[in-house]
Each structure stands twice: as C-alpha cells, then as structure tokens.
Amino acid sequence: MKWFSFTICLVVLNAASCEKETTLNETTEPPVIILTAGETKVSSNGNLLAFEFLDMITQDQATSGEIKNVMISPLSLNLAMAMAWNGAQGNTKEQIKEALGFTGITDQDVNGYFRKMMETLPFADVLSKVHIANSIWYHNEFPVKPGFLQTNNTWFKAYASALDFQNKTTESLNTINSWCSKNTNGMIDKILDKIANNEVMFLINALYFKAPWKDKFNKADTAPMTFELSNGEKSIVPAMFKSMKTENFQGEGFNSITLPFGNGAFKASIIVPTNGTGLERLCQIIASGNNWENITSMSRTSQVDIYLPKFKFEYDLEFNDLLKGIGITDAFDNNANFTGIAEYPVGALRISKVLQKTAIEINEEGGEAAAVTSIGFELTSAGPDKQVFRADKPFLFAIWEQSTNAILFAGKVEDPLGN
C-alpha cells in the first residue's frame, strides 16, 4: 500500500512593542467577551492543561538533568488539535475530546469557542494587534473530504489550497513557509525544513499578538540583580524595576503579580514560588484547585515594588508523549480513526508527531513571542499594602485575555539569560 502522512502546523506570535498610531491616551475599556457555559469550560480546561503540561515537562527535565527554560502555547495547541479533532471519528475523537476537556460539550460549543476567539480577540484592545489565520495545504492527489475542508473553513476560516508535494516539493515548501512568515510578521520564517514523501497535508494556524505594557518600565531603572538558579548557583541578570499599583495574589507556595498590556484586555502574570516550593510543585499547585482562577479573579490591587528580569529564549518540544500521557493514545497507533479527513481504513491515517517551537522576549517596552505547532499524520497499512515582588528565582509566566481568562502563552524561566 502506498504510504503517506500529513502534518498540521500551527504558528503563534506574540509581540508587545506596539507600532500602532493609537496612543496610550486613546485607550478604551477592554470589552467583555461573553462565553457560553460550554465555551467557558473549553477555555478553563485549556488553561489547566497548560500547567499540567508544564509540570510533565519539568518532571522530565528533572529526570534527565537538562534544566532549561520552557514556553508552550496552550491556545495554539488546542486550536491545532481542534482542527484535527474535526476529522476524527469514534474512540479517537472521544479520547481527544476527553483529554482536552471537551467532554459534555457539544461540537458546536467546541468549535464556537475557537471561532469566537478568532472573531473577538483582534478587537479587544485598540493598542494591541491580534491576527489569527488558518490554512490547509494538501497534496493534490490526497483525497481529502470536502466536508472536512468546509468544517474548518466555517469554524476556523481556514484557507485551503492543493499543492504538488511530489514534483514541486521546493515550491510547495516555500509557499507554506512564506504564508507562515507573512502571518507572523516575519518572526517565524519557516515551519518546515522539508516535505517528506509520505506527507500529504499541513493544517496551519497563525496567531499574532502585539502590544505594549500599559505602564512601561523605564530603561534607566533596569539594573543587575542576583538570580538563583534551580541548582543553587547564582547568576547576574538585568532586572527591570517599577513601583506601581498592580494586581497581586499570595497563595500557598507562591506569589504572583499581573501586569496589563495596552488597555488591559491582555495581561501577563508572573508567578514566583515561595517557602521552598520548587517549579515542579508550583506547576502542580497552579494546575489544581482554583489557584489559576484566584490569580485571574481574586487578585487585589496594591502598591508593589517590582523587580522583573528581562528574558529571551527559544524552546522546541515534541508533544507525542505528553498527549499520550493525558489519554490521547489511539490517534498515534493502529486504532487511529481519522475517516472524517479522508476515506481510509481505521488505523491507516494516524498522528506521527506533534511538535511545537516557541520563542519569547520580555523587556521594558513589552513582550515578543512566537510559537509553531506541527501535528503530523501518516498513512500506513494577602499581604501588606506595600509589597516587594522580586522574581529572583525560577518562575512561571502566562499571557492571557482578561474576560475569558484564555491563556495564549505559558512557560517557566529557569535562567533569564537563556544559558
């Protein structure tokens, strides 16, 4: 039997050095994005899954002894998986649905949530630029079902195009990578290094975010700070400083501050462990109970002296084992049922690998970040009013939208210098 695969790629970019003509004096109140009960559940489950993944990654790093910075984009991953989920059937679809927290939610609520994000996030902040684009590129001999293309066009506004992967591989590769570069403002210049002989489809999502801090840090106040690494060694890092009124929350084993971008629609939360809590345990704490909800909704506003390291790093991750670890197993083996994509026997079309590449930079102006997710398929046979918040040890961060609490990016900083 002829042997093929297709890949779903998702690209995400976040940047916060706003170039719009709009000034800070022209800000408007951030709108409230209304979600149905089902859509709220999709958003909440995606957020908790982000910290569960960070916990699993941190545990793996502790076992291997390779401790480094991490960033993932839960919104990006869920967007890509939801597009693939639209082509899944039977137990494969149920496993994805349960693992990603879609259980008990209608297909319309799942797809409706992501469409609502696409339709509302770009208009949440006049100071921010949010651009979301989806595309489907497939080999011109791959018999993709029109219904699959139509579903992803209806809900994800996915542009579809047939390309000659076999005879014009370089041309097809350049076309796909150029689309990614265009839709990420050039930050992600390519997703793919090559198109393998067995690859027949790429689903790509690009999410672009650009905004300044609502209250920028003064570069003149940035100064060296001692940062204690996980292994106990000390590093000198450039730390931004600002004394300001901002949201903050003290939980069991952590302190957090939340800094708004633009008009406040998008925010960044910095979560620092306390009382000897390690990052692995901190991920578990945030992923359990109501701790993330407490950070986003129960924080109080008070004066805080903030010492926050500037940081910049890149991170590559294969999600296969992580997804299998949360129950998505059939999709990777002979039980895979993606008959909603193309009419092949169960087990013929399956996920080969899920990859995500990310990059981020946080500085006095704001932040800049990018993520690329690729899903491949193969066909075979409380404190005082004045506080000091010092991020001088490994910490977590998340960039999220204030009315839905949807996390665009989440990660951990082991070393602000990226060593």
Contact 52, 292 (CB under 8 A): no
Contact 237, 43 (CB under 8 A): no
Return the closest-CA partner of residue 117 out of 136, 130, 104, 99: 130
Q: Percent of the chain scored above 90 by pLDDT?
A: 46
Q: Which residue has the higher pLDDT, 239 or 9?
A: 239
In whole angstroms, give the CA distance from residue 71 to residue 369: 9
Choose the weakest-confidence range: 6-10, 264-268, 397-401: 6-10
**Residue-averaged pLDDT of the chain:** 86
What is the structure's pLDDT at 369? 81
Choose the weakest-confidence range: 164-168, 287-291, 292-296, 373-377: 373-377
What is the structure's pLDDT at 386? 59
101 alpha-carbon distance from chain centroid: 16
Contact 172, 163 (CB under 8 A): yes
What are the distances in angstroms from CA 10 to CA 7, 265, 297? 10, 23, 30
- Per-residue pLDDT reduced to its tens digit, 153-199: 999 999 999 999 888 999 998 998 888 888 888 888 888 888 878 88
Q: Percent of the chain scored above 70 by pLDDT?
A: 92
* pLDDT for residue 19 is more than 60: no
- Per-residue pLDDT reduced to its tens digit, 121-149: 989 998 888 888 888 888 898 889 999 99
* pLDDT for residue 14 is more than 50: no
Q: Which residue has the higher pLDDT, 150 or 381?
A: 150
What is the structure's pLDDT at 17? 37
Return the closest-CA partner of residue 71 out of 375, 360, 406: 360
Position of tokens 């699959």?
Answer: 148
185 backbone φψ class: left, alpha, beta (φ>0; ψ -120 to 50): left
In three-state form (DSSP H/G/I as H, E/B as E, the rest C), the secondary structure along the chain is CCCEEEEEEEEEEEECCCCCCCCHHHCCCCCCCCCCHHHHHHHHHHHHHHHHHHHHHHHHHHHHCCCCCEEECHHHHHHHHHHHHCCCCHHHHHHHHHHCCCCCCCHHHHHHHHHHHHHHHHHCCCCCEEEEEEEEEEECCCCECHHHHHHHHHHHCCEEEEECCCCCHHHHHHHHHHHHHHHCCCCCCCCCCCCCCCEEEEEEEEEEEECEECCCCCHHHCEEEEEECCCCCEEEEEEEEEEEEEEEEEECCEEEEEEEECCCCEEEEEEEECCCCCHHHHHHHHHCCCHHHHHHHCCEEEEEEEEEECEEEEEEEECHHHHHHCCCCHHHCCCCCCCCCECCCCCCEEEEEEEEEEEEEECCCEEEEEEEEEEEEEECCCCCCEEEEECCCCEEEEEEECCCCCEEEEEEECCCCCC
In whole angstroms, give the CA distance from residue 55 to residue 62: 10
* pLDDT for residue 10 is more than 70: no
Mean pLDDT on 326-346? 93
* pLDDT for residue 24 is more than 60: no
Q: Is 167 exposed, middle or buried (0-12, 13-18, 19+ CB in 10 A)?
A: exposed
In whole angstroms, give the CA distance from residue 335 to residue 344: 12
What is the structure's pLDDT at 3? 43
10-19, 71-80, 384-393 — which one is most confidently predicted on average?
71-80
- Per-residue pLDDT reduced to its tens digit, 357-408: 787 888 899 888 878 777 777 777 533 455 788 999 998 989 889 999 999 8
Domains and CATH numbers, the chain: 4-211+312-379 (3.30.497.10), 219-309+383-413 (2.30.39.10)
What is the structure's pLDDT at 193? 82
In whole angstroms, give the CA distance from residue 351 to residue 8: 9
What is the structure's pLDDT at 27? 52
Q: Is 382 exposed, middle or buried (0-12, 13-18, 19+ CB in 10 A)?
A: exposed
**Angle of the 90-99 helix axis to the 74-85 helix axis, nearest 10:** 160
* pLDDT for residue 247 is more than 80: yes
58-67, 309-318, 320-329, 361-370 — which one is most confidently predicted on average?
320-329
* pLDDT for residue 13 is more than 50: no
* pLDDT for residue 419 is more than 80: no
Q: Which residue has the higher pLDDT, 338 or 15?
A: 338
CB-based contacts of 26, cutoff 8 Å, min separation 6: 126, 127
